Amino acid sequence: MSRTKIGFFDSGIGGISVLSHARRRLPGADYLYYADTDHVPYGTKSRGEIIRYSDEAVGFLAEQGADAVVVACNTATSMAIGYLREKYPFPIVGMEPAVKPAAAAHQGEKILVCATPVTIAGEKLHTLIEHNYASDDLPDLIGLPGLVTFAEQEIFDRGDVCKYLASVIDKERNYSAVVLGCTHFGYFSDSFRELLGDIDLIDGTKGTVNRLISVLESEHIPLPADEEGCMTFYQTGRPVTDPKTLAFFDRLLARAEKFQN
Ligand code: DGL
């Protein structure tokens, strides 16, 4: 029996943070990771472009034999998940900013939701907020496209990152929690804490992997857990073989793991 293949897709390297968690929970699967390097960032693109690129990515993963796909990108989920689910026959798990768990854990407290400009402006997020917050107690919303650029360039230096964050986040708002509504943002947990103190940082990684597991179970997709599966990376459909890029992805897996612990 061939091993279960799970496809992951993000505009770039953000979804590697979700892949890292999935691999720990489901070591027996084979993973295909598609970073749409030619088109990153999605967070400032039109809905039509995001649907087109997401379709190309998921179509590619389908050709490689994915049994299920995780759209490890809040922006692509916000714009394209309905289209993708209608088009493809296998399960597709999306990601959305973890507004619901943040509301449950921090009732009546000041929350900041950060994501890409497209996610922040999107109807999906506003509907999610309406369902989870009273109209006189809404969270603050902010787009942080600069963090996507930093992550893609592997700039994690707290000095540079905190300077950027301080220029866009008002720390006098005394937030109790920050929702990291973009998969690129989890790599900067240290900088968020340096600027805002020991706040609760909430992202959708664990919830997404829980959802993936329950979808695989309900679809009777087998998960042999005995021996570790393999990981294959693609950049906009081209297999990644160059050792420098693979080493970069390894560093991201390690960084994601460090912050998830
Ligand atoms: N990582 C993506 C997200 O979760 C999008 C980043 C971008 O391409 O702008 O929204």
Domains, the chain, ordered by start: 5-95+205-260 (3.40.50.1860), 99-202 (3.40.50.1860)
| Tens digits of residue pLDDT in 111-147 | 999 999 999 999 999 999 999 998 888 999 999 999 9
Below-50 pLDDT ranges, the chain: none
DSSP 3-state of 104: helix
Residues with Cβ within 8 Å of 171's Cβ and at least 6 positions away in sequence, in order, are: 195, 196
Per-residue pLDDT, 137 = 86
9 lines ligand 1 (CB under 6 A): no
Contacts with 94 (C-beta within 8 Å, 6 or more apart), sequence order: 71, 77, 81, 208
Q: Pick from 9, 13, 75 the residue to mutate for probing ligand 1's pocket: most ligand atoms within 8 Å of its CB.
A: 75
Please report the beta strands in 37-196, taking only residues with DSSP state E, as ranges in sequence order: 68-71, 92-93, 111-115, 140-143, 177-180
Q: How far is the CA of 227 from the centre of ligand 1 (A)?
A: 32
What is the distance in A from the centroid of ligand 1 to the CA of 129?
A: 19
Is 114 an active-site residue? no
Instruction: In whole angstroms, give the CA distance from residue 159 to residue 29.
Output: 38
What pLDDT was estimated at residue 44?
Answer: 95
Closest-lying ligand 1 atom to the alpha carbon of residue 76 = 10
